[in-house]
Copies of this chain bind each other. A is one copy, B any other.
Amino acid sequence: MHATSGLLQAATDPRWFECAAVRWQELVLDHANCEKKAASTALSLMFAYPEDFELADRMSRLAREELRHFELVQQKLRTLGVPFRRLSPARYADGLRKSLRRTEPGRCIDLLLTGALIEARSHERFVGLIPRLDEPLAAFYDSLAAAEYRHAGLYLRLAEQRGEGTVERLAALAAVEAELATSPDPEFRFHSGTPA
């Protein structure tokens, strides 16, 4: 855990994991949305900074991996017979978006740092879910956890290569992220706060 160990400022409350074990159908449905959104976020960075070939290449590869995961989550939903439902998005992504700086190069750095935080949170939750879910979901999340960890490191490295003072900025964004991920939340989602 060396590269991303210090990223998260608060651990997910055990009540979130207990809720997830019971409401696993919503968990997996929302997980499909998250993989799709992760691909979309990577793509939006490619559109926003097309002159940065290295960033575009990394984001393109990342988006492909997220899409592959999306396909696997959809297959899981099918084999487990989970009926489709549209789920409203969690407050999480929107809350993080509000904290981004509006001018460049700060905005790009903030997008990359929040990318790192989201992936680190996903990794933390995957790891915590494994012992609490039944098969085949436990094995499924086990198979995906390492990728989230790797993605967090990638985003962090890209941010560090592109900006100075990322350490202080990371701390500020991580505080927002920790609040969103752990304060009471009336809704249950993959990235929701502690069940209210």
Set of chain B residues within 8 Å of A64, measured between Cβ atoms: 64, 67-68
A68-81 vs B, Cβ < 8 Å mask (1 yes, 0 no): 10110010011000
The residues of B that contact A60 with a CB separation of less than 8 Å are 67-68, 70-71, 74
Bound-state CA distance A71–B57 (Å) is 6
- Counting every copy of the chain, the complex holds 2
The answer to whether the Cβ of A150 comes within 8 Å of any Cβ in the partner chain is no
Which residues, 26 to 43 on A, are CB-close (under 8 Å) to B?
32-33, 36, 39-40, 43
Q: How far is the CA of A115 from the CA of B161 in the complex (A)?
A: 38
- Interface on chain A toward B: helix, strand, loop, or mixed SS? helix
A64-113 residues at the B interface, CB under 8 angstroms: 64, 67-68, 70-71, 74, 77-78, 84, 86
Interface residue A46 (Cβ < 8 Å from any Cβ of B): yes
A40 and B51 CA atoms in complex are apart in Å by 18
- Of A60, A68, A77, the most chain B CB neighbours within 10 A belong to A60
Q: Mark interface residues in A53-68 (1 if CB within 8 Å of B CB, else 0).
A: 1001100110110011
A contacts, CB < 8 Å to B: 32-33, 36, 39-40, 43, 46-47, 50-51, 53, 56-57, 60-61, 63-64, 67-68, 70-71, 74, 77-78, 84, 86
User: What are 11 of the A-B contact pairs (CB < 8 Å)?
Assistant: A39-B43, A50-B84, A50-B86, A51-B86, A53-B74, A56-B74, A60-B67, A60-B70, A63-B63, A63-B67, A64-B68
